[in-house]
């Protein structure tokens, strides 16, 4: 696990034991407190799976350069030939598709296979987007029965949300993507700005995304 903020991990260790269930102390776990891009650039390891759960691509945020073609190229180089990556891709709600589609199309410029999917997140009260990308593995080609069989052979307890049918919760409206892409010099960003008319209120400002050349 790579995280840039050691203090947050320490707080989670102390106050959220029901969430992590002592996973940080598992003998198989390695913790690295550094920038994820820097870590992958300096690592010679190859991974079967890379799961990326980042903060939003805020204009001056620490994660903004982890949503680009250049970073996804680094991720691709860090994967085994049959490896796969998964990334959270912002809201996939009907009125908030721009971020989701920008990330999807950026991944499609790097990986031959990029499959968007979504899940309802109760705490967000929203459909949230995710994207799996790979050089060779296509998760859409797995049959529901095969997924259920794999789960049953590897996990003894019943999962609360994932099974063979959940795997294919990829509604057609969410598969349609626009032409937006991002690279290091053209990052799709949004940020919050104080509303001058009411200093106690913040309004969401979106920076118009331009196509990469």
- By annotation, the residues acting in catalysis are 53
Contact (CB, 8 A) for 130 and 89: yes
Task: Identify whether the C-beta of residue 37 lies closer than 8 Å to the C-beta of residue 65.
Answer: yes
Residues 6+ apart with CB under 8 A from 155: none
> 135 with 210: CB under 8 angstroms?
no
Residues 6+ away with beta carbon under 8 Å from 48: 79, 80, 82, 83, 84
SS3 category, 145: helix
What are residue 202's DSSP bridge partners?
Answer: 194
What CA–CA distance (Å, rounded) separates 185 from 136? 28
Looking up tokens 């032409």, which residue turns up? 179
Cα within 13 Å of Cα(130), Cβ side: 17
């Amino acid at each position: 696990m790579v995280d840039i903020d050691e203090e947050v991990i320490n707080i989670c260790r102390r106050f959220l034991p029901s969430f992590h269930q002592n996973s940080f102390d598992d003998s198989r776990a390695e913790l690295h407190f550094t920038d994820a891009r820097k870590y992958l650039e300096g690592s010679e390891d190859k991974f079967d799976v890379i799961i990326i759960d980042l903060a939003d691509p805020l204009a001056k945020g620490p994660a903004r350069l982890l949503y680009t073609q250049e970073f996804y190229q680094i991720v691709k180089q860090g994967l085994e030939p049959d490896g796969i990556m998964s990334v959270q891709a912002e809201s996939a709600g009907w009125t908030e598709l721009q971020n989701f589609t920008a990330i999807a199309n950026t991944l499609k410029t790097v990986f031959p296979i990029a499959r968007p999917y979504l899940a309802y997140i109760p705490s967000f009260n929203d459909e949230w987007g995710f994207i799996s990308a790979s050089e060779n593995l296509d998760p859409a080609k797995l049959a529901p029965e095969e997924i259920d069989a794999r789960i049953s052979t590897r996990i003894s307890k019943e999962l609360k949300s994932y099974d063979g049918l959940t795997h294919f919760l990829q509604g057609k409206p969410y598969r349609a993507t626009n032409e937006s892409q991002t690279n290091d010099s053209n990052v799709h960003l949004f940020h919050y700005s104080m509303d001058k008319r009411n200093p106690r209120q913040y309004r969401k400002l979106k920076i118009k995304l331009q196509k990469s050349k």
